[in-house]
Amino acid sequence: MFLYSAILLALQATTTLAVQPLIIQGADFVNAKTGNRYQILGVAYQPGGEGGYKPQTGEDPLSDGSVCLRDAALMQKLGVNAIRVYNVSPDINHDLCASIFNAVGIYMVLDVNAPLSGESIDRGDPRPSYTASYLNRTFAVVEAFKNYPNTLLFFAGNEVINDVPTGRNIPPYMRAVTRDLKNYIKKHSTRSIPVGYSAADVRDTLLDTWNYLQCTTTGDTSDMSRVDLFALNSYSWCGDSTYTTSSYDKLIADFSNTSVPVFFSEYGCNKPSPRIFTEVPVLYGPLMTPVMSGGLVYEYSQEPSDYGLVNINSNNSAQLNSDFDSLQAQYNKLNITALQGVKAENATVTPPTCRSSLITKSTFNNNFTIPSVPTGAQALIDNGVSTSNTGNLVPIGNTKVTHVVQQTNGQVLDLSITVIPDDESNIPSGQTPGTATTSSAPAATTTKKSGATNIKMTSCACGPVLACVG
C-alpha cells in the first residue's frame, strides 16, 4: 500500500512541468538551459497586506491553493513572470501555491523576514535582534522554499537602511545576514539561490548602500557577505512622466557599472490615478535594459494604500481594477523577443573592493568588519535547522478557478490556468480584457509621491522600533 502510493506519487511528480531555475551571470539573471537573459516582469503579491500573514492560524499569501489558482490565472493573463511575497511562514505548507505558480511560469521573490517579534533585524537597535533564534527562523524559510525551481531569490532585508542613523548602524548587519543565508544555502541547498537586498529609494543612502553591499573583501565574487543582487523600491515615475523627469536617467547613470543584477523591487506611483504605466515601455526599453533587469509593480491586490490591480472580497471573489487593464495593455506592447529571447552576454564582472573611500557620505558606515555569527548559530549553519517543512513541487490537479472573478466591466471571466511547457516562463498573452472601464476610479489628484518619501509605503507597518524588513 505504502509502496503503491509512493510509486504513484513518483509517477505524478515526474509529470509536473517546471520552470528552469535561474542563475546570475555578471549583472544578469540567466536561464541556464537556454542561456537567455531573464528580465523580471513582476507584481508584489501580499493579499490582505501585512494582515495576510497569520502564522498562528496557518495563513500567509502562499497557503491557500484555490486563492493562488485564482491569482495565478489572472497573472498569467496579465503577463507577469514573477511575484514578490513579503511575509511567509516557514511552518506553513506552500507546496500547492508554489507548484501552481511554477506551472504557469511565475518565479517567486521572497523576503525572509516578517513583522512579528524576533522575525527581523531591529533597525533601531540591531545587535540584540541578530540572534541564533532569528537566524533559525530565517534558515527555516530557506528550507521551506529551497526545493522549488521557481524560487528566484531571497531578500535578506527590505528598506532597513533609509536614513542617517540606519546608514550608520545597519550596513554591517545586512552583510552579516547575507553571509549567513548564503552559507546556509551553500551547505543545504542543491542549487545556489541568490540572496540580495531591497532598498528604499532614498538618495542619501541608496548608492552607499549599494556599494557597501556589492563590494568584495576577497577580491572576487566569492565573498559570502556580498549580495548577489540589489533592488530598489522606486516611486519617482508618476503619471505621464519621462525618462529624465522621473530621474530614471540618473539611476541608470549611477548603476551603469553594477557588478550585480539591479531591478525595481517595487514600482508604480499611484498618483495621479488611475495609473497609465507609461514607465513600462521605458523600463523594458533600450535605455534601461542594458543596466536593469526589470521590476515588480506594487501591488497585485487592492489594500488601504490604494495600489491594487485587483479587488479581492472576503468571500474570495475578485474584480479587476482599471489599472490591471492599463498594465496589461502596456505589457502587451513589449517586444517579447527582446525581453526573454536574447542570449546573455558572458560578462564577468569585477566587484569593487570594499574600502572606506567607496562610501561617499561621511555619516554612512564605511567599516567592513561585520558581526560574527551569533552564539549557537554556526551549528545551525553546519547541521541544518530542524524542520519538517521542506517544500517540494506537487501535482496541481485542478486547473479551473472556482472563485468568481469579474472584469472591470462586471463580466464574469471563465478562468483557468494553462500549464506551460518545461523551461518556459510566462509572457504577456497579447489578450485584451475587452473592457469598458468602469467609472469608479477616483478623480485624479496631482499629488506626487517622491522616492524619498516612500518609506511609509513599505509592505509592513511595524512599530518605530521594529525594522520594516518584512
Ligand X SMILES: *[C@@H]1O[C@H](CO)[C@@H](O)[C@H](O)[C@H]1NC(C)=O
Is 266 a known active-site residue?
A: yes
Contact status: 357 vs ligand X (CB under 6 A): no
Q: Are 407 and 436 in contact (CB under 8 A)?
A: no
How far the first Cα of the chain sits from its last, in Å, is 44
Write the CB contacts of 389 (distance below 8 Å, at least 6 apart in sequence). Answer: 90, 91, 92, 93, 140, 143, 144
Contact status: 133 vs ligand X (CB under 6 A): yes
* Among positions 74, 385, 405, 427, the unique one binding ligand X when judged by CB under 6 A: 385
Is 159 a known active-site residue?
A: yes
Contact status: 335 vs ligand X (CB under 6 A): yes
Site string for ligand X, 295-314 (x = CB under 6 A): ------------------x-
- Cβ proximity to ligand X: between 155 and 173 the closer is 173
The residue assigned the cell 496579465 is: 78
Q: Using the 8-state DSSP alphabet, how is residue 300 labeled?
A: S
d(CA 123, CA 129): 9
Smallest distance from the beta carbon of 373 to ligand X, in angstroms? 12
Q: List binders of ligand X among 35-64 (CB under 6 A).
A: 35
Give the start-end residues of each E strand in 95-253. 107-111, 151-158, 195-200, 229-234
- Cβ proximity to ligand X: between 12 and 440 the closer is 440
Smallest distance from the beta carbon of 328 to ligand X, in angstroms? 19
Smallest distance from the beta carbon of 52 to ligand X, in angstroms? 18
Stretch that binds ligand X, among 52-60, 302-310, 331-339, 450-458 (CB under 6 A): 331-339
DSSP 50-119: GGG-BGGGTB-TTS-HHHHHHHHHHHHHHT--EEEE----TTS--HHHHHHHHHTT-EEEEE---SSTTS
- Cβ proximity to ligand X: between 143 and 325 the closer is 143
Q: Rg of the chain's alpha carbons, rounded to an integer?
A: 21
- Cβ proximity to ligand X: between 55 and 395 the closer is 55
Contact status: 178 vs ligand X (CB under 6 A): no
Contact status: 118 vs ligand X (CB under 6 A): no
Q: Pick the catalytic residue: 50, 119, 143, 159?
A: 159
Stretch that binds ligand X, among 143-151, 292-300, 336-344, 435-443 (CB under 6 A): 336-344
- Cβ proximity to ligand X: between 36 and 241 the closer is 36
* Among positions 5, 190, 369, 388, the unique one binding ligand X when judged by CB under 6 A: 369
Total residues belonging to the chain = 470
**Within 13 Å, how many C-alpha atoms sit on residue 376's CB side?**
8
How many other β-carbons are positioned within 10 Å of the β-carbon of residue 12?
A: 12
Contact status: 257 vs ligand X (CB under 6 A): yes
Q: If binding means CB under 6 A, how many residues of this protein chain bind ligand X? A: 22
* Grid cell in block for residue 47: 493579499
Just list the catalytic residues. 159, 266
